[in-house]
Structure 1
Amino acid sequence: DLGAMLGLLELATTNRSGAQIGQIMAVTGPMNGQLGLLSGLQSIDYRAAILGSLPVVDRTDDPWNSSGPVLTTLVVSTEPADYGVEILGDVQAMIANWSDLLVQDLQADGAGDGLRTFSFSQFSEGANANLGKEIGTLTSAALLLLAIILWFNFRSVRDTAFVTSLTVLAILATYGLSGWLQFFGVNMVFNAAMNSIPVLLLAIGVDYGLHVVIRIREELNLIDSKDDIERATLRDFSYEARQVAVRRGTVLTSIALVIAIFTDMVGFLSFRFSSLSFLQVFGTVIAIGLFLVYLLSITALPALMLMFPPKKLKLEKASSIEIGPIANGLARLSATPLKVGVIAVVLLAPMFIGFQQLEVGFDQRDQFDEEVPVVGDFLLLSDEFQNSRSPLYVVVDVEVFTPDGYAAWLAAEQVLLESPDVSGAPSGLWNLLAEAQVRDSTLNGLMSQLDDTNQSTWDELATYMLETPEGRELSSSVLASDGQQTVLSFQAETLDWQATIDLNQRMIDSLESAEEGLEGDANLRVGGRSLILAQTTSDVADSAIMSTGIVAVVILMMLVGIHSVRQRDVVQGMSRGFVSWIPLMMVVVWVYGLMGFTGYQINSQTVTIGALSLGLGVDYAVHFSIRLEEEVEHNPFADPHHWVANASATTGRAMWMAALTTAGGFAVLNLSSLLPLRLFGQAFVVAIALALLSSLVILPAFYARFLKTDAQRYISAMNEEE
C-alpha cells in the first residue's frame, strides 16, 4: 500500500537528530516524490473514464467486449481571441474544417471508414446549412402555391405578380432591417423558430394584397353600375374612374387592415417580455415584416394598379357579385341568433376540457433534422452515450481551499457518482489537480503536505492556484478567481424536455441531502445550459397566454374605438365592439381545445397560434362588419337577409379567397423536416378555418340587431330631409 509506505518514510525521521534527518532525507526524498506521484495516479478513476467512452448499455454487462462505438474526447478552445478572430462563427468554421482534415489524416494512416469526428462546431455549421436550404425550399414552395391560388382568383398574371413581388420585397426588407438592428446592438440572432417567418409573411402579405385588389375591382364594378357608359373589360375604364376606385377601395380596405396589422404587431411584440431569446427575436422580426407588408399593400400595390393599365378581363370574371346558395344560407342563419349562440356554446363546452389537456412540449430532438449526418452523430451521442449538448455542472459555493471546502467537493462528487442519471465520470478541480501533480513537482509538494489540522498548508496551495500563472492556467475553467466557488462537470441525457425537468429535480434533492450532512456552510446547486433551457421552457406557455391576452385586450379596445368613431356614440361603440369580439375569443378556445384533444403541444412555433388567430380573426370580423354596415347604408329599406347575403357574396367571397391563400401558405410548412413547424402549419390551417367561419356564421347572427338600428336611423334621416 503506497499510503503505508509513505507513512513509514515519514516515521523514519522521528526522534532523529538534525544530521541524521539530513542523511535520511537524502535517501527517502526521491523515494517520497516518486511514491507520491504513484499515489496521485492511483486516486484517478481510470476505469470510470474508460467506461464513459463506451455506450451506456455496455458499461454494466461486459464492457471489455463491447462492439462499440467508442468515444474519444478532445478538448479544444472556442474562444475567438485564441484564433485571432472576433466572431464565434469563424472559430466554428475553423474547427469544423480541422475536424474533417483530422479524419482524412487518420484514414490515410490506416483507420477504417467507420471513423468520424463530431464537434458542436460541426453540429452548428451542419444544422445551420440545412436550415438555410429548408428555408429556401419552403419559401419557394409557398410562393409557387400562393401565386397559383392568386391567379385563379385574379385571372391576371399582372395583378398576381404585383402582390407576390411586393410581398417578397417586404420579406427581403424585413431581413435587411433585422440585420441593421443586429448591427446597432439589438439581439436578432437567427434561430430555428425563424424558419416559418418567410412563409408566414408570404401567406399574410398575400392575404392583405388580395383584399386590396378584390375591393378595388368591386369599386370598379360599382362605378360601372352607376353610370351609363358601356364597359366590357377592366381596361375599358378611364384613368379617372380607376383613380376613384383605387382611392376608395384602398381607404375602405385599409381600415380593416390597420386594425389587423396593429393587433398582430402588438401580439408579436409582446414576446419581447419573454425570457426566451428566440421568442423575442421571432416576435420582433414578424412584427417588422407585417408592418412592411401592410405598408406596401396600401401604398405600392394601389400605385402599381393605377400606373399600369389593367388586363382586358371581362367584368363578370373580374368581380362577380352573385348571391348564391352559400350566401343565402349564411343569411338565413343570421336570422336565428339564439340557435347560432346555443350551437356555439355547446361546441365550446368540450373545448374547455381539451384546453386543460394542452401541454408544453419543447423536446430538442424535434428541432433537428436527423437526415443531416452531423445531427445524426449528435443524436448518437445522446442515445448511446447519454451526453448532453453542453456539460452540466454542480456548483459548490464554499471557501475551496479548506478542509470543509474539500469535504463539500467530495460530497458533490459522491452525489454524481451514485446518480444513475450521470454518464461517465464527473470532472472537477481536485481531479485536475490529481492529474497535474504528476507533471508539476511544485504542485505535487503542495498536495502532499495538505493537513486537515493545519490551515496554512491549504493556504499555500490556494496561493499557488490563485496567484501564479501556472495555477490559474490549470484551474481557471473550474475555479473562481477569488477561491470561493468551484464546479464539477458531468454528462447526462437532456434531449427530452420532461426528462430534463425530472433530472433537474432529482439532482436538486440529492444535493440538498448531501448539503445537510456537511459541517460547514457550503452551498451545492446544479446548473447548465440544458437545465436552464428546460426550466425556462415553461415560459413558452406563459408567453402564449400573455401574448394572447394582450392581443385580446388590444383588439377589444380597437373594436370599441372604431365602432365608436363610426357610430359617433360610445355606448353603441362598446356594444358593437364587444359583440364583434366574442366570436374571436371563441376561436381561441376552439383552437387550443382542438390542440389539446388531438395531442398537439405548445412549442416554439405553436406558441404564436393564439395571437395569430386573433389577428387574422379581427381582420375578417372588421371587414365583414363594416361591409354589413355599408350594405345597410346603401339599402336601408331591405331586411337583414338581404344585407348579410350581399355582404357574403362580396366581402365574404374575398374572405374565402384570403383564407384559402393564407391556409395554402401555412400548409407548405408540412414539407418541413422539423416537427414543430409541421404542427404549426397544421394547427394554423385549422385556426384560419375557424376564424373565417366565426366571422361568416356567428358574427352576422349577433350583429343583426345593430343593422336594424342603423336602417331605422337612415330611414329617419331620409324622412327628415323630405
Structure 2
Amino acid sequence: MSKLWRWIILHPGWMIGISLLLFTVLAMGIAKVYLDNDILHWFSPQSKIGNLNYHVNEIFENSNPLIIMLELPSPVLLKENLVHIRELSLLGKQEEGISSVYSITEIEDIQGSEDEMIISRLFPDDILSMPSYDTTTNIILSRESFRSLLSKDGYATAIILAIEPSVRADIVSRRVKKLVNDYLANHCPDWKIYHGGTPNMLNSISQMVIKDLSFLVPLVSVVVLVVLLVSFRSLKGTFLPLSTVLIATGSAMGIMGYLGMPLTTFGVAIPVVLIAVGNAYGIHVVNEYYEKVRILPPSEALYEALRRTFLPVLMSAITTFGGFLSIAFANEMLAAKNFGIISAFGVLLSLIFTFLWLPAWICIFPKGKANLGNLNHENEEGIFSSVAELVFRYRIPVLGIFIVIGIVALYFLFKVEIKVDYLAYFDKKAEVSQITAKINHTFDGSFELKLYAQSDATDPVTLRALQIIEETIRFKAGGNTRPNSLVNIIASLNNGMVQFPAIPESQAEVENLFFFIEGNEMVKAIVNEEKDQLLISFLLPSIESRDRYRLIDEATQLLSSYASVNIVPASKTKETLLSLSAMMLYNRLVRAGHPLPLEDINEALVPSLAYTNVETYEEQLQFLSRAMNILEQRFQISSFLSKYDIFYALSPLLWKEVPIPGNEIQLFKKHGVTGLTKLFTDVEKSILRNQLVSLGLIVLIVVILNTITFHSLLEGLLSLLPIIFTILVNFAIMGAFRIPMDFITVTIAAIAVGAGIDYTIHFLSRYLHEIRQGKNYEEAFYDTFRTTGKGIIFNSLSVGLGFAVLMFSSIVPLRSFGLLMAVTMLVSASSALTLLPVSLLLLRKALKLDHYCDIQNTH
C-alpha cells in the first residue's frame, strides 16, 4: 500500500479527475429515481407476505379503494344534492384506472316476484323527475347496507372508488382529487370534502418525502459543516470531509436510479444517513493529518496519515457496510432491502472517495489548523487529557455507572412495542389524520381486511359457511362494520324471489340467481368469472395492534376451521343457529346505534324454536314474521332495524342443514386473510425476526473482522461491549418513551452496530499501536484519548447531529429514527472512550494476560 499512497500524493490531478468522472457517471442516475410509498409494492409478488395480496388484487381487479366523504349543508337525499353526487360518480367512472364506483346514487335494488325480477339503480338517470322518490329514500334510510354511504344524520355521504391493481393508485387518486375539487368549486362551493383512503395517504406521504428531501439534505449539510468548522477550524478541514461524502451520496442515489429502485420513506433517510455516517472516514484522516503535520513536512504527514488510518477506516467501512447489508439480507420488505443496499453502496463510495478525492485536495492545500478564539491545538489536548485522567482515576465508579444504567435499561427493554400503521407517519393534527378520523367516525373505516376462499360459489353450503365466518368476524370487530360479500348479494336476490332475504336451499336456485348479476362490476370485486374464488371485504378503522392481531387470528382460525366441514341436520344444532341469529341481530343493532345485550337477544329468540314445521316459502315467511313479532314485543326492534335486516338476521333459523367444522367435505381448496390490515400485521410480526437476523449477522461480522484485525479474540469480543450497551440504551429509550418499533426504527440496531463500532475500532487500533510502541496501558490510554479520542468526539458530534436533523422531518417515524440514532452515536462514542478501556484494563488485570496490565497506579 505504501507505493499506492506515494502515487496518490504525487498525482492529485489524476485523483480529482477520476473522482469527478465517477461521480458524474453515477449521479446521472438520479434522474431515474421515482416515488412509490405503497406498502404492498415493498414486497415482491413471490414473497410470503405479498403473494396472496397480489393474487387477490389481480383476480378481483381492485386494490385499496379511494374514499371521498362529502359533508353537505342540507340533507344528502334532497334531489338537487343527488344530482351532483350522480355527476361526481360518473366523473369517477370515466377516469382511467377506476374499475368501479359505489355511491348513494349508483346503488342497485332488487324488486321481484315469483314471475320476474328487476335489478336497477334506486335512482334513475333523471333524478329530478323520478316518481317514487319518497319510497326510494325510505328504503335507503331503513336498510343497514346503505349506511356505508349515508351518515346517521343524513348530512354526509361517501363515494367509494375501486382502483385497478395494474395502475399506480397514488397517481390515479391525484387525478380524481383534482377532478372532484374542480367540480365542487364550480357547482357546490359550500360542500366540505374529505379525500380519504389509502391512495390519498400515499399521496400525502409522497409530498412529505419531497418536502423532506428538499429541506433535510441541505440542513444536514449545514449542520455537518458547522461541526467540522468548529472541530478543525479550517476551510480545508471543513469542506474536504463534507465534499467527499456529498459526492459519495450523490453517486449512491444515482445507483438507486440505475437499479430502478423507488424512493420511499426509507429513501428519505438515505442521503441524511450517508452524509452523517460517511463523513467519519474523512474526519479521521484529516484529524490524523493535522496531528502529523505538526512535526512532519505536509507530504510526509499525509503519507503517514493515510498509512496509519487506512486499516481502521477500512475496517470501520466494512462493518458499516455489513450493518447496512444485514438489513438488506434480513428483510423480505423491498423498501428495507433497497435502503440497506443503497446505503451500503454509499458507504463503499465514501471509502473510495476518502482515499482518492480527499488526499488530492490536501496535497493542493496543505495548510493546517487555525485558532478559534482561545481554543487551539494545545488547549484541545489539555482538555482531552484532563478527561482521560478523570476516567482513569475513577474507573471503578465509571464501570458502576454503566452497570446501573444497563440494569435500568433492561427493565424498559421489555416495554418496547411493535406497531406498523400508515397513520403513524402523520401527526395527529395533520390533515390526513383528521380526515381519516372523520371517515372512521362517520362511516366504517379506511383500511381493508379481506377474507379469501377458493370454493364453489354456487354451493349453498359454501355460502352458509361464509355467512357464519363474516358475521363472527363482524361481531369480533365490534359489530359496526358491514362486510361486502357474495352472501349479502345472493340473499338480496333471493328476497326478490321469495320475499325474504336468505341463502337458497339448493345449488340450482343459487345458479339461477347468478344469471341476474353476470357482468356486474360490484360482483366482480367479490367473485371471479369461474365462480370458484370468493372474497369477503371489510373496511376497518385504524385499530391497536393487539386488537388487530386478535381479529386476524380469529379470521384465520375460522377459515381453517371451515376449510373442511361436516353437514348436520339443523334439528341437532338449534342452539348454534339461535346464537348465530342473535349475533347477526346484535351486529345490526350496533350499527344502527342501539345495541342490546347479546344474552337478552338470544333469550328472546328461544320461543321461536317451537315453530319447526316450515317447509314452504309461505311457512318460512310466517315463521320469520312470528319471530320478528316476538322481538318487537320485547324490544320494539322495528324502531331501529328494517324488516329486511331483521329477516336476514333470522334467516339461519330456516336452515335445514348446517356446516360445522369437520373432515367429511373439503369446502375451501385454498384460503387466507389479506388486505392492508393483514399486511400491517404481517410486517409487524416480521419486524422482530428481521431485527434478530440482522443483529446476528452484523455482530458475527464484527467479531470475526475485529478478531482478525486485532489478532485477539478477547479484543474482538470486547469490541462489542460499547455496542451492546448502546443498543440496550436505544431500546430502553424506546420502551420508556413509548416509541414504537416500526419498519424504520427497526433498522437502528443494525446501523448502530455497523456505524457505532467505528469508534471502538479506531480507539482499539490506536491503543494497540501505542502499546506496540512500548507504552504501558495508562500511557497508551492517555495518548489514545487525547488524539484518536478527539477524532471520535468530533465524528460522533458530526454524525449524531447529522442524524438529529431527521427530527425536523414531516414523517413521524423518521423523527424517532433521527432522535434515536443521534443518541446512539453519542452513547456509542462515549462508551468506546470509557466503558471499553476500563473494562479492558480490569479484565486483563483479573486474567493477568500480559505485561501491560501491571500499571503503576499513581493516583
TM-score (norm 2): 0.65
Equivalence for 1:196:
269
* SS of 1:395 mapped into structure 2: strand
* SS of 1:378 mapped into structure 2: helix
Q: Does 1:522 align with 2:580?
A: no
- Structure 2 distance, partners of 1:434, 1:286, is 55
Gap runs ≥5 in structure 1: 1-29, 56-62, 81-87, 183-187, 224-240, 565-572, 714-722
Q: Does 1:52 align with 2:197?
A: no
- CA gap of 1:299–1:599, structure 2 versus 1, over 3 A, is same
Equivalence for 2:213:
135
- Structure 2 distance, partners of 1:110, 1:444, is 41
Q: Does 1:407 align with 2:464?
A: yes
Task: Say which of 678, 702, 707 aligns to 1:560.
Answer: 707
Amino acid in the other structure paired with 1:667? A
Q: Does 1:540 align with 2:687?
A: yes
- Structure 2 distance, partners of 1:43, 1:113, is 25
Moved more, 255-264 or 405-414: 405-414
Equivalence for 2:315:
259
Equivalence for 2:723:
584
Q: Does 1:219 align with 2:292?
A: yes
- CA gap of 1:43–1:347, structure 2 versus 1, over 3 A, is same
Contact 2:527 2:533 in 1 (8 A): yes
- Structure 1 distance, partners of 2:531, 2:354, is 62
- Structure 2 distance, partners of 1:378, 1:529, is 15
Equivalence for 2:817:
680
After TM superposition, give the deviation of residue 428 of structure 1 in Å: 1.8
Contact 2:445 2:539 in 1 (8 A): yes
- Structure 1 distance, partners of 2:491, 2:289, is 80
- CA gap of 1:611–1:95, structure 2 versus 1, over 3 A, is closer
* SS of 1:600 mapped into structure 2: coil
- CA gap of 1:551–1:383, structure 2 versus 1, over 3 A, is farther
- Structure 1 distance, partners of 2:777, 2:176, is 74
After TM superposition, give the deviation of residue 160 of structure 1 in Å: 1.9
Equivalence for 1:669:
806
After TM superposition, give the deviation of residue 489 of structure 1 in Å: 1.3
Moved more, 655-664 or 349-358: 349-358
Equivalence for 2:29:
none
- CA gap of 1:118–1:608, structure 2 versus 1, over 3 A, is closer
Aligned residue runs from structure 1 range 383-402, under 5 A: 383-389=441-447, 391-402=448-459
* SS of 1:393 mapped into structure 2: strand
Moved more, 476-485 or 657-666: 476-485
Contact 2:527 2:534 in 1 (8 A): yes
Contact 2:454 2:534 in 1 (8 A): yes
- Structure 2 distance, partners of 1:613, 1:77, is 41
* SS of 1:287 mapped into structure 2: helix
Equivalence for 1:75:
161
Amino acid in the other structure paired with 1:605? I
* SS of 1:426 mapped into structure 2: coil
Equivalence for 2:249:
171
Moved more, 293-302 or 108-117: 108-117
Equivalence for 1:299:
356
Moved more, 618-627 or 328-337: 328-337
After TM superposition, give the deviation of residue 222 of structure 1 in Å: 3.3
Aligned residue runs from structure 1 range 297-376, under 5 A: 297-310=354-367, 313=370, 319-320=377-378, 323-324=381-382, 326-331=384-389, 333-334=391-392, 340-369=398-427, 373-374=431-432, 376=434
Equivalence for 2:830:
693
* SS of 1:222 mapped into structure 2: coil
- Structure 1 distance, partners of 2:366, 2:474, is 78
Task: Say which of 739, 750, 760 aligns to 1:621.
Answer: 760
Amino acid in the other structure paired with 2:659? L
Contact 1:422 1:491 in 2 (8 A): no
- Structure 2 distance, partners of 1:385, 1:36, is 29
Equivalence for 2:549:
501
Task: Say which of 525, 529, 535 aligns to 1:487.
Answer: 535
After TM superposition, give the deviation of residue 173 of structure 1 in Å: 1.3
Q: Does 1:162 align with 2:240?
A: yes
- CA gap of 1:481–1:643, structure 2 versus 1, over 3 A, is same
After TM superposition, give the deviation of residue 111 of structure 1 in Å: 4.8
* SS of 1:362 mapped into structure 2: coil
- Structure 2 distance, partners of 1:650, 1:119, is 56
Amino acid in the other structure paired with 1:246? L
* SS of 1:358 mapped into structure 2: coil
Contact 1:335 1:641 in 2 (8 A): no
After TM superposition, give the deviation of residue 582 of structure 1 in Å: 2.9
- Structure 2 distance, partners of 1:712, 1:143, is 43
Aligned residue runs from structure 1 range 653-664, under 5 A: 653-664=790-801
- Structure 2 distance, partners of 1:47, 1:459, is 26
Listed one character per residue, the Cα deviations across residues 52-74 of structure 1 (whole Å, up to 9, x for unaligned) are 2355xxxxxxx3x45x5x23224
- CA gap of 1:700–1:116, structure 2 versus 1, over 3 A, is closer
Q: Does 1:425 align with 2:482?
A: yes
Listed one character per residue, the Cα deviations across residues 618-668 of structure 1 (whole Å, up to 9, x for unaligned) are 21112112212333344x2x5433322222111111111111111111121
- Structure 2 distance, partners of 1:430, 1:489, is 12
Gap runs ≥5 in structure 2: 1-111, 123-135, 566-657, 854-859
Moved more, 317-326 or 270-279: 317-326
Amino acid in the other structure paired with 1:355? L
Q: How many residues align?
A: 622
Structure (1/2) with the larger helix percentage:
1
- CA gap of 1:595–1:647, structure 2 versus 1, over 3 A, is same
Q: Does 1:574 align with 2:652?
A: no
After TM superposition, give the deviation of residue 555 of structure 1 in Å: 0.9
Amino acid in the other structure paired with 1:153? S
After TM superposition, give the deviation of residue 554 of structure 1 in Å: 1.2
- Structure 2 distance, partners of 1:141, 1:512, is 53
- Structure 1 distance, partners of 2:323, 2:802, is 21
After TM superposition, give the deviation of residue 32 of structure 1 in Å: 4.3
Contact 1:331 1:642 in 2 (8 A): no
Amino acid in the other structure paired with 1:132? I
- Structure 2 distance, partners of 1:687, 1:31, is 73
Equivalence for 2:330:
273
- Structure 1 distance, partners of 2:197, 2:673, is 24
Q: Does 1:643 align with 2:643?
A: no
- Structure 2 distance, partners of 1:372, 1:353, is 34
Contact 1:217 1:318 in 2 (8 A): no
- Structure 1 distance, partners of 2:163, 2:217, is 37
- Structure 2 distance, partners of 1:108, 1:94, is 22
After TM superposition, give the deviation of residue 214 of structure 1 in Å: 1.0
- Structure 1 distance, partners of 2:813, 2:117, is 59
TM-score (norm 1): 0.76
- Structure 1 distance, partners of 2:346, 2:497, is 62
Percent identity (aligned) = 20
After TM superposition, give the deviation of residue 402 of structure 1 in Å: 1.8
After TM superposition, give the deviation of residue 672 of structure 1 in Å: 1.9
Aligned-pair Cα RMSD in Å: 3.9
After TM superposition, give the deviation of residue 613 of structure 1 in Å: 2.3
